[in-house]
């Protein structure tokens, strides 16, 4: 009977064997949360007339490796703490449903961190050794996000940490290694990206609200409830678009950045997908739409910066 339930779960989640097991371990559709900040930060550097493409690639790979490793630590520690089982609905499941040994997941996560550190050495050599201290601190937080005695992800502050360190910090680092400077405008432009990244975690916590509550987590979604958390998600989306339009109006962003508003449709899909839904399966499309909103917005923002270089436009 348990085998039948397990197979039914895997079929419902469209989970396949072989390479797909390891691909799911990376949680690929969440990796845009690291790709987008590096892309935007680097495009801002191009707008200011500075780009080293090897540094861009190194930073991009390092950021994605750190996030993938963080995802693996999350899978490992959720299993170790008994928060995941074969009936858990999630985007990982390689341990609880595919039978991958927990130790393998942990070793792979550490290997990804080690590779990111090697790339970090190259980045430091080409830019500044200050990046080493900042990078190590970010990696430590990546581990503490779900590891250690008091995981950040189990508190009401998970969204705040994820948005700041994966959004603002990565954009700032990506810009700094190219220009060796930082500006208030870069920090301001990072705000919508930081909020969008925070919404990815918020969406995940809304979906997992009931299960997380039973396991003693204290996420913001648990503290304010499903309805209010969905309203917070909608408000966060709205804030991002208001900030973007404001930045365009005062000249921090080019008028081309209006194309980012094309992502509103996905944001609307995400909100609709959470309203009135109570089961994990029902909310999976909404969670995916939230991640896609960040991807589309961030990609279009980067494109708008390139357009400003190719076709300069000002009021």
In a domain, 147, yes or no: yes
Interval 89-106: pLDDT, tens: 555 566 666 677 888 889
In a domain, 282, yes or no: yes
Interval 168-211: pLDDT, tens: 999 999 999 999 999 999 999 999 999 999 999 999 999 888 88
Distance CA 72, CA 67 (A): 9
In a domain, 175, yes or no: yes
Q: Which domain holds residue 90?
A: 16-308
Please report the DSSP string for 10-46 in residue order: HHHTT--STHHHHHHHT-GGGTHHHHHHHHHHHHHHH
pLDDT at residue 87 is higher than 70: no
In a domain, 138, yes or no: yes
In a domain, 1, yes or no: no
> What is the pTM (predicted TM-score) of this model?
0.87
Q: Are 77 and 69 in contact (CB under 8 A)?
A: no
Best CA proximity match to 232, nearest among 246, 243, 221, 217:
221
pLDDT at 15: 52
Query: Alpha-carbon torsion 157, 270, 254, 60, what sign?
Result: positive
In a domain, 217, yes or no: yes
The total number of structural domains in the chain stands at 1
């Amino acid at each position: 009977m348990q085998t039948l339930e397990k197979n039914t779960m895997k079929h419902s989640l469209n989970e396949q064997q072989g390479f797909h097991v390891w691909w799911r371990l990376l949680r690929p559709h969440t990796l845009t949360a690291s790709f987008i900040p590096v892309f935007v930060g680097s495009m801002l550097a191009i707008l200011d007339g500075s780009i080293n493409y090897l540094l861009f690639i190194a930073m991009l790979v390092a950021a994605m490796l750190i996030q993938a490793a963080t995802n693996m630590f999350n899978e490992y520690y959720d299993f170790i703490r008994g928060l995941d089982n074969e009936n858990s609905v999630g985007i990982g499941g390689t341990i609880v449903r595919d039978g991958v040994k927990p130790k393998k997941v942990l070793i792979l996560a550490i290997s990804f961190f080690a590779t990111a550190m090697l790339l970090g050495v190259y980045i430091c050599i080409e830019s500044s050794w200050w990046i080493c201290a900042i990078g190590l601190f970010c990696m430590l937080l990546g581990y503490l996000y779900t590891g250690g005695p008091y995981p950040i992800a189990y508190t009401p502050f998970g969204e705040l940490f994820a948005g700041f360190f994966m959004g603002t910090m990565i954009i700032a680092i990506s810009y700094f290694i190219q220009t060796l400077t930082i500006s208030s405008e870069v920090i301001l432009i990072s705000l919508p990206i930081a909020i969008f990244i925070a919404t990815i975690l918020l969406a995940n916590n809304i979906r997992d609200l009931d299960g997380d509550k039973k396991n003693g987590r204290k996420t913001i979604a648990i503290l304010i409830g499903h309805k209010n958390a969905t309203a917070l998600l909608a408000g966060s989306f709205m804030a991002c678009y208001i900030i973007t339009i404001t930045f365009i109006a005062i000249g921090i962003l080019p008028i081309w950045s209006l194309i980012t508003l094309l992502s509103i449709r996905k944001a609307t899909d995400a909100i609709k997908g959470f309203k009135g839904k109570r089961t994990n399966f029902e909310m999976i499309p909404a969670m995916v739409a939230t991640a896609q909103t960040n991807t589309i917005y961030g990609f279009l923002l980067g494109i708008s910066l390139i357009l400003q270089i190719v076709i300069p436009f000002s009021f």
